[in-house]
Amino acid sequence: MAKLDHIMYGVSDLQNGISEIFNLTGVNAEFGGTHPGNGTCNALLSFGNSQYLEIIAPDPGQSLAGTLGEELQAHDFSGIRTWAVAADDFAAVITILDKFGYQHSVLDMNRTRPDGVRLDWQLLFVDQHPFGNFMPFFINWLGSPHPSDDALGGCRLSAFAVEMIENSDQYRSLMDALNIDVEVLEGPDGVRAVIDSPNGRVLLH
């Protein structure tokens, strides 16, 4: 069963995002690094079990034109942007996507941790589908250390669900075919995560 790798929590300013998550959880997410060419930087909070929360924000040290960083900078609100599923075999994912008639694209990425360790990974994005940001992307860490191993802990992911008004049956069928462990509910559009933290139970959406 494929499982959630990390939740991407989008903010327009990294330090403000770190402060927001600290106020909610009592845990101070630590700076992870920058994503060259993507216009972004991040801070991480480990859930353990090879899962983590990524606070992702524009990187003021990069040119943001045409990047995810530019998109994040344009919004003055924070929240779950999307989510990632661990996948060591993109070929198996692509075969299923082809059966459903969806396209895909693969992107090589890297960042260097504050301790100088470079992480390299690949992302697979699903294209031309009707699910918007509810569609996860897939990540292969290519043997790099998993970010949850060295990120600050203290929180645990208790529940994660996708709620959809339309296309929920189609979405659920795709998740089942991809063998992804996620709860799919009919309801107001949104993604929600329940986190057990030192401050108690926290809901992110």
Strands 156-164 and 183-186: parallel
- At 165, the pLDDT band (50, 70, 90 cuts) reads confident
Q: In what order do the strands lie in the sheet with 183-186?
A: 183-186, 156-164, 190-197, 200-204
How much is the pTM? 0.95
Query: Would you mind telling me the total number of residues written for the chain in this entry?
Result: 205
In 3D, which of 123, 40, 55, 46 has the Cα closest to residue 85? Answer: 123
Q: Which residue segments constitute the domains of the chain, with CATH numbers given?
A: 4-153 (3.10.180.10)
Per-residue pLDDT tens digits for 13-55: 999 999 999 999 999 999 999 999 999 999 999 999 999 999 9
Q: With the CA atoms of 41, 31, 139 and 194 taken in that order, what torsion angle do they form, in degrees rounded to the nearest 10? A: -110
Cα separation of 53 and 116, whole Å?
Answer: 21
* 60 Rama class: left (phi>0) / alpha (psi -120 to 50) / beta: alpha
Residues in Cβ contact with 2 at an 8 Å cutoff, skipping those fewer than 6 apart: 85, 86, 87, 178, 179, 180, 181
Task: Output the average pLDDT for the chain.
Answer: 95
pLDDT of residue 189: 83
- At 188, the pLDDT band (50, 70, 90 cuts) reads confident
Confidence check: pLDDT of 1 > 90:
no
Per-residue pLDDT tens digits for 191-202: 999 999 999 999
For 189, phi then psi, to 5°, come to -55, 130
Amino acid at 125: F
CB atoms < 10 A from the CB of 46, how many?
24
